Structure 1
Amino acid sequence: MGNITKRGSRELEGDGAPSLVEGPRTELHTELYAAIMREDCTAIQVLLSSHPINQPVTILANSTSHRFLSTQTQSIMPIHLAAKYCKAQSLLCLLEHGADPEIRDSRGLTTLHLMLLHWPISSTMWTKLGNRTQRTLTNTQKDAVRCLLILCEHGAHVNARVDDSNKYSPLHLAVAHGTSPVLSILAQKGAQVNATNESSMTPLHMAAELLNQEMTEMLIACGANVNCAVSCTGSTALKLAVCTASSKAGRLLAAGVSCIHSLLTHGATVNAQDHEGQTAIHEACFGGREAIINLLLEYEANVNILTRNGESPIYMYLQHSSNLRDRVLLTKLLYCSYPLRLTNNQGALPAGIMLPEFHLLRETLIKLSQKLLSLEDICKRVISNIYGEKHKHHLKQLLPVKMWNSIYCHDSAYLLK
């Protein structure tokens, strides 16, 4: 490798690049960088006799002396370099020679944080790649796992927070960047699965809000509290997932429904209220997604529960004018809602039905809310709400056919006539 001349260094400085120590030290940095990248542990040991292990190496811009070198000037800790590019042998060599895994870069990131941020993509994410590329990605994944295990075995703090405004733990970082393979490893190595970030969110809250079913199920399997609430809002993972999914369509909506179903099957409390008294069914009705509403009803969501401001789920549904065009879902919710509460604590009607085009619907709903039901009709609705869709087939075995049909085979379209 050739030496960098003084003239070359001055030219780089003139272009705004950081000044570097010239001559032998620059060449030493370049050689150490290259040795780490090619995992030449013998060369690393020799070079460390001349370079402090916990001081950065700085590489000149536009260097062509090694194929791994960046085209821009950069300074990086040797251990960070090995972790970032998943060089397991180099990482182990550096740790055995005194590298500090907790040393942080200028952004407040430890070696573990950097590894998670640069975790290689999974080969399963790319179905059209050739076999050779698939093998390369698989091998890179294996190298990343090896590096993670090496770091954990050599004292990396699996609960160390990023020194920034978010205060993410390694588990938070893994969820935020979709690196699901590391969740179980970190948990097994002592990561606190219910730790909260600066926004009081656990990793499970983040995974649910991202509608990532795989990470959601992995975190629950690792001991995440499925009913833990965000302290500043009172929202649970279920409510966050419903809120996100309600704004999606197509495949994203299907993914959201799957994530919500996973939370429910693992014990999420369907009627948990946040600080405003809202539940998952309030969010679902506001979004108007039938698949989500039906799923929550199957798990016995209470359609008559009120927020602190006196808003019922049907009130939330009637807020959006787009929801009012789905008369089938609207009549289903109306049948479940008793007593029918159309106003909030201030006496205000939902915004959607206040639009001129829904004048007739508004008048019909007001009349319905004032109508007294017979004791028989009240009993039917109570039974329907208690047993819901989930247990209606079991109930069919217990009740006379005529009685069961009167509860579940009604024609609720008459409600809006």
Structure 2
Amino acid sequence: MGNINKRGSKDLVVDSDQSQQDSPTITVDNQLCDAIIKEDCSTIKALLRSHPVNQPLTILTSYRLLFEQQTCTVIPIHLAAEYCKPRSLLCLLEHGADPEVRDTQGHTTLHLMLLHWPIVSSTWTKPGNRIQRLMADIQNNAVSCLHILFQHGAQVNAQVGNSNKYSPLHLAITYGTHPILSLLAQNGAQVNAVNESSMTPLHMAADILNENMIKTLIACGANVNCVIPHNGNTALKLAVCTASSKAGQLLSAGVGCIRLLLIHGAHVNAQDHEGQTALHEACCGGREAIINLLLEFEANVNILTKNGESAIYMYLQRSSNIRDLMVLTRLLYCSYPLRLTNRQGVLPAGIMLPEFQLLKETLVRLARKPLPLEDICKKNIRNIYGKKYKYYVRQLLPGKLWNSIYNCYDLADVLKGDL
């Protein structure tokens, strides 16, 4: 459900009795603040005759937890944007307010709009009770404020003046909802803009597994294969990493995001600077749904990292993975030559445990045993056609031959006795 008190903002309270005791400047500033919040445009116009429109207001604030009044400064146009007051915002702009004026943290008016964007539950099909109607009205006002800013020349690619260097699209990923992304893109936002960490908005959306945002960004022209220069990660690799984490597995999250990226051309075998692919990451996490999905899109099991680690090596690193016999068997059937060690000749940590001694011996024997030409051909067919096209191959081959290529239960039976 939406949050009535916008994130990061303080409740502004104008105390008429106290204000009379303050200096004339603070009194005028508080009156202008009050007029902006109430969208009293006639009072705003009158007060702007004595108060420069881009000059910060010094106003009284009430901190609910401290029960004491303090003063703070805020620029009038920022106040109207943060509190989603479209009539006040338009009035200020028509009287010379600069949408690009920045606060002390380097935020423009557009940045602050996105930082304080009101969130409404996506499960509301129709506003029902009073709170829901109130939140829907606030969000509609926020959209109106965005359009007003765009019409008055707000820079949709201006970066925040701090260490993050976020563009409005980056802020929308962090604080907003997916409809804002298309609004920004339609008004000229660069969908492949990078922040200080060289991440595009799509990288950020993939990292948090937000399928709606990924879909919107791709529709707006985001490059699904853009690489982060300092580590070589793509959006696919980031999505697989998050989906394969403990939290991703517990929530069963990310499969839709990963499939969406793959359908729109993400390179399934792209390697980062360490030589790892998305399949290496998935095998390290051991999540069957992600591994199967990558194999469906022809992920290559035999690619090695710079340290000589194959996908199956990564899978065997964790003892919790090894007990999933079907995944292990599927990886083995796609692996040739079977590489169980890295470049230093070290075996995966998982199979070094005493409980997996027999399995380790079986795998070492399989790795050392040269395959007959028939088995090599079968592996090549599986690697070329993968799981995605195996039923197409079934239409071309005799049933017995197809079963001999794709039936993996014989190897599963060999390993079952070792677990």
Q: TM-score, normalised by structure 2?
A: 0.90
Q: Which residue of 1 aligns with 2:134?
A: 136
SS in 2 for 1:59: strand
Question: Is 1:413 equivalent to 2:412 in the alignment?
Answer: yes
Counterparts of 1:15-414 in structure 2, within 5 Å, are 22-62=22-62, 72-125=70-123, 130-248=128-246, 253-411=251-409, 412-414=411-413
SS in 1 for 2:157: coil
- Runs of 5+ in structure 2 lacking a partner? 1-15
CA contact (8 A) 1:123 1:138 kept: no
Summarize deviations over 1:23-67 as a string: whole Å, max 9, x none.
322221111111101111111000111111111112224499xxx
CA contact (8 A) 2:117 2:176 kept: no
197-206 vs 118-127, which deviates more? Answer: 118-127
SS in 2 for 1:272: coil
In 2: Cα distance, 1:293 partner to 1:197 partner: 31
Q: Which residue of 1 aligns with 2:3?
A: none
SS in 2 for 1:124: coil
* Shift, 1:130, TM fit: 4.1
* Shift, 1:103, TM fit: 0.8
In 2: Cα distance, 1:294 partner to 1:48 partner: 64
CA contact (8 A) 1:123 1:137 kept: no
CA contact (8 A) 2:81 2:145 kept: yes
Q: 1:407 to 1:236 in 2, by over 3 A?
A: same
Task: Give the fraction of aligned pairs with identical amino acids, expressed as a percent.
Answer: 67
SS in 1 for 2:122: helix
* Shift, 1:131, TM fit: 3.2
CA contact (8 A) 1:166 1:197 kept: yes
In 2: Cα distance, 1:177 partner to 1:109 partner: 14
| RMSD value, Cα | 2.1
CA contact (8 A) 1:331 1:415 kept: no
In 2: Cα distance, 1:213 partner to 1:363 partner: 43
In 2: Cα distance, 1:54 partner to 1:60 partner: 19
* Shift, 1:276, TM fit: 1.2
Q: Which residue of 2 aligns with 1:67?
A: none
Q: Which amino acid in 1 is paired with 2:219?
A: A
In 1: Cα distance, 2:116 partner to 2:208 partner: 19
Q: 1:269 to 1:233 in 2, by over 3 A?
A: same
* Shift, 1:87, TM fit: 0.3
In 1: Cα distance, 2:62 partner to 2:198 partner: 44
In 2: Cα distance, 1:355 partner to 1:126 partner: 52
* Shift, 1:358, TM fit: 2.1
* Shift, 1:370, TM fit: 0.6
* Shift, 1:252, TM fit: 6.2
In 2: Cα distance, 1:289 partner to 1:85 partner: 44
Q: Which residue of 1 aligns with 2:10?
A: none
Q: 1:410 to 1:251 in 2, by over 3 A?
A: closer
Q: TM-score, normalised by structure 1?
A: 0.91
* Shift, 1:178, TM fit: 3.8
Summarize deviations over 1:91-121 as a string: whole Å, max 9, x none.
0110111111111111111111110010000
Q: Which amino acid in 2 is paired with 1:214?
A: N
In 2: Cα distance, 1:252 partner to 1:209 partner: 16
* Shift, 1:132, TM fit: 2.9
402-411 vs 47-56, which deviates more? Answer: 402-411
* Shift, 1:122, TM fit: 2.1
Q: 1:342 to 1:56 in 2, by over 3 A?
A: same
Q: Which residue of 1 aligns with 2:7?
A: none
Q: 1:252 to 1:162 in 2, by over 3 A?
A: farther
In 2: Cα distance, 1:153 partner to 1:354 partner: 65
Q: Which amino acid in 2 is paired with 1:136?
A: L
CA contact (8 A) 2:298 2:385 kept: yes
Paired positions, count: 398
In 1: Cα distance, 2:197 partner to 2:24 partner: 48
In 2: Cα distance, 1:250 partner to 1:232 partner: 25
In 2: Cα distance, 1:107 partner to 1:290 partner: 45
* Shift, 1:409, TM fit: 2.5
Summarize deviations over 1:300-324 as a string: whole Å, max 9, x none.
0001111111110001101112111
Q: Which residue of 1 aligns with 2:13?
A: none
Q: 1:72 to 1:216 in 2, by over 3 A?
A: farther
SS in 2 for 1:323: helix
* Shift, 1:255, TM fit: 3.0
Q: Which residue of 2 aligns with 1:12?
A: none
Q: Which residue of 2 aligns with 1:18?
A: none
Q: 1:74 to 1:197 in 2, by over 3 A?
A: same
Q: Which amino acid in 2 is paired with 1:38?
A: K
In 2: Cα distance, 1:63 partner to 1:236 partner: 44
In 2: Cα distance, 1:250 partner to 1:304 partner: 26
In 2: Cα distance, 1:145 partner to 1:4 partner: 33
In 1: Cα distance, 2:346 partner to 2:17 partner: 79
Structure with the bigger RCO (C-alpha within 8 Å, sep 6+) is: 2
Q: Which residue of 2 aligns with 1:15?
A: none
